[in-house]
Amino acid sequence: AVSFAMLLLAILPPLGRPAPVLDGVLIGALATALLLLKITFFAGLVPLAALALLWRGQQAAAVAGLVTGLAVIMVATALLGPGHWLAYLDDLRAVATSEVRPSAGVPFDQIVAGPAYIAGTIVTILAVLLLRNAGRSREGIFLLLLFPAFIYITYQNFGNDPKWLAFVALMLIALRPAPGLHAVAGIDLSDAARWLAVAALALVLPSLANLAMSPLKHAAIQSARFLPMVPSRDGDQQIFVRVDRANTMTAQVHLDADTGVWAKYAEDAGRAPPLTIENITFPECELLAGSRAFHVEIAAALEAAGVAPGSQIFTADILTAFWLFGPFEPLKNGAPWYYGDLSGLENADYVLVPKCSFLSSLRRTIVDDLKEAAVPLSLVRDDELFALFAIRR
């Protein structure tokens, strides 16, 4: 919604009395919101919004937007400190260069031309052609320039919903030519714009319906079906998870990893050799649910193993948030979600390798990185949940 409002203000001419300064202030505020909330939207869309203003001759709006954006950034810097931006840039660098999560799901080429997305691509191309033939060449060119940005944003965001099709529909509705003015191959472009807008909305309807219904579903939920994700920390009990989802311990295992009847199929299946570190072999096991129960049990086991309060733990898995569930400290320079480079290991007191992880391929990568770095480890505990190693300094 923020990005759509910003783009419409930048691209479309005003319907009534022009107010370039107000438009610029709104665009600057919306652009800065994207900078603080969603950097992919900012990087992909804000330069095009600025180009649209300049192409329309709206220099006053562009200056007002720039001044507003800088003012918001200065306020944020005063409140958060200059270190916020340095840390933000470092986080962006880590995420952009990480091989752990280069994308959030569907491959890029599939979002452009895959079976689930090709109709949206065709509708967008037809919308560009329609606008150009209806005397809206500038707006058509901007829609064409926005298309790669929309594709990249969809590629980078979990779920890969093509929400940008709603913007295509808005453009077609706002710029629909009057009946009888323009036609191509005998087709009135006013009718064509209407039907293309309907097609775009139909393609994005499932996503829009989910957005519209979610507040109603939230208001109607039965609170007894949910419990706090973090049970014991004061002030952190505002996030709730469904009881069954929190406690369903379902895992995917490799039956051919053992010496039983299925072992003879492992080579043809291309299985990697068993994962080992410090002479401990780990089962090929990947959890599909139960993140709350996983953290609760391992945090309790760490306390039982005598891990001192305030200890920092590096975990060989995608999730590493045991400090939320026990008397431990957050891993300095680490994060609840692992992005690579053994980040935070230099500050860790322990390395924990779960016997069943949430991303087994990443667990293997981290263990291989630990071996390559020759991290000196001493076994503290080995049980059905994890192997815990102290780091020798």
Residues 302 and 173 reside in one and the same domain: no
Half-sphere exposure (Cβ direction) of 296: Cα atoms closer than 13 Å: 13
Alpha-carbon gap, residue 71 to 76, rounded angstroms:
9
Domain with 303, as residue range(s), is 240-391
Q: Which residues contact 198 (CB under 8 A, 6 or more apart)?
A: 169
H-helix or E-strand spanning residue 211 = helix 189-220
Where among 217, 248, 281 does a domain terminate? 217
Q: Taking a C-beta distance cutoff of 8 angstroms, is the pair 171, 139 a contact?
A: yes
Alpha-carbon gap, residue 341 to 369, rounded angstroms:
8
Which stretches within 56-136 are classed as H helix?
Answer: 59-80, 83-97, 108-113, 118-133
Residues 260 and 197 reside in one and the same domain: no
Residue 360 lies in a domain: yes
Where among 185, 217, 249 does a domain terminate? 217
Residues 199 and 326 reside in one and the same domain: no
Rg (CA), the chain: 26
Tens-level pLDDT at each residue, the chain (393 residues): 899 999 999 999 888 888 999 999 999 999 999 999 988 899 999 999 999 999 999 999 999 999 999 999 999 999 999 888 888 888 777 777 777 766 677 888 999 999 999 999 999 999 999 999 999 999 999 999 999 999 999 998 888 899 999 999 999 999 999 998 888 988 999 999 999 999 999 999 999 999 999 999 888 888 889 988 887 766 667 788 999 999 999 999 999 987 789 989 988 999 999 899 999 999 999 999 999 999 999 999 999 999 999 999 999 999 888 999 999 999 998 877 887 889 899 999 999 999 999 999 999 999 999 999 999 999 999 999 999 999 998
Residues 281 and 358 reside in one and the same domain: yes
Residues 188 and 301 reside in one and the same domain: no
Residues 196 and 280 reside in one and the same domain: no
Residues 28 and 138 reside in one and the same domain: yes
> What pLDDT does residue 238 have?
79
Alpha-carbon gap, residue 358 to 268, rounded angstroms:
25
Residue 223 lies in a domain: no
Residues 269 and 382 reside in one and the same domain: yes
Residue pointed to by tokens 């071996």: 371
Residue 229 lies in a domain: no
Residue 352 lies in a domain: yes
Count of domains forming the chain: 2
**Helix count and strand count (H, E) for the chain:** 13, 12
Tell me the CA distances in angstroms from 278 to 275, 282, 382, 390, one per residue in order.
Answer: 10, 11, 11, 12
In this prediction the pTM is: 0.83
Residue 292 lies in a domain: yes
Q: Taking a C-beta distance cutoff of 8 angstroms, is the pair 160, 105 a contact?
A: yes
Where among 217, 248, 279 does a domain terminate? 217
Tell me how far apart the 2 most distant CA atoms of the chain are, in Å.
81
